[in-house]
Amino acid sequence: MLNGIVIDQEGTLSTVQIDSTTSQTRLAGMYKALDCDLVDVVRLADGIDCWVDDEGLYNAGFNPVLTRMTNRTRFTSPLLGAGLFLGVNEATGETVSLTAEQQAVVVGWWRDATSGALAVAL
C-alpha cells in the first residue's frame, strides 16, 4: 500500500492509501483518488511528487490551493483539479509512500496555502 495525501478541487486535504501490488492496481488507485482517467506528475523537491489529472484543463477547474502548494518548491503552471502527493525513490523513479517527514512537509504547504495572508497573494 502507498500512503499519500490528496488535495481535492476545493482545497480539502485527506489521506489516501493506494494498492501498489501491481502497476495496474497502483494506476487504478491513482485514477480513483484523482477521479480521472489519465495522470501526469509534477516533480517537486525532497522526493515528493504531485500527481494530477492529465486532462484537467478539459475536466476540472483551477485549484488555487494546489497551485500555491506546488509553487513552494518550483514554479508550476496553474494546476486544475485534485492533486495526489506521493513519494518517489529518486534513484529509481519508483513511486513510493510519503514518509512521515514528507507528510509533515505537505501538510505544512497546505497550511501555508490555506492561511489568510498567503491565500490572498495568488
Tell me what pLDDT residue 119 has.
45
Give me the residue label for grid cell 488535495.
Answer: 7
Task: Give residue 122's pLDDT.
Answer: 39
pTM of the model: 0.91
Give the count of domains, the chain: 1
Strand partners for 51: 41, 84
| pLDDT the model gives residue 31 | 97
pLDDT at 39: 96
Q: Domain span at residue 82?
A: 2-121
pLDDT of residue 72: 84
Supply 19's cell numbers.
494498492
Residue pair 66/85 in contact by the 8 Å Cβ criterion: no
Position 56 scores a pLDDT of 85
Contact 53, 87 (CB under 8 A): no
Please tell me the predicted confidence (pLDDT) of residue 116.
Answer: 60
Q: What is the C-alpha to C-alpha distance for residues 2 and 44, in angstroms, rounded to an integer?
A: 18
Each of the 122 residues of the chain gets a pLDDT tens digit; together they read 999 999 999 999 999 999 999 999 999 999 999 999 999 999 999 999 999 999 988 888 899 999 999 998 887 788 999 999 999 999 999 999 999 999 999 999 999 999 864 444 43
Neighbours of 23 (CB within 10 A): 9
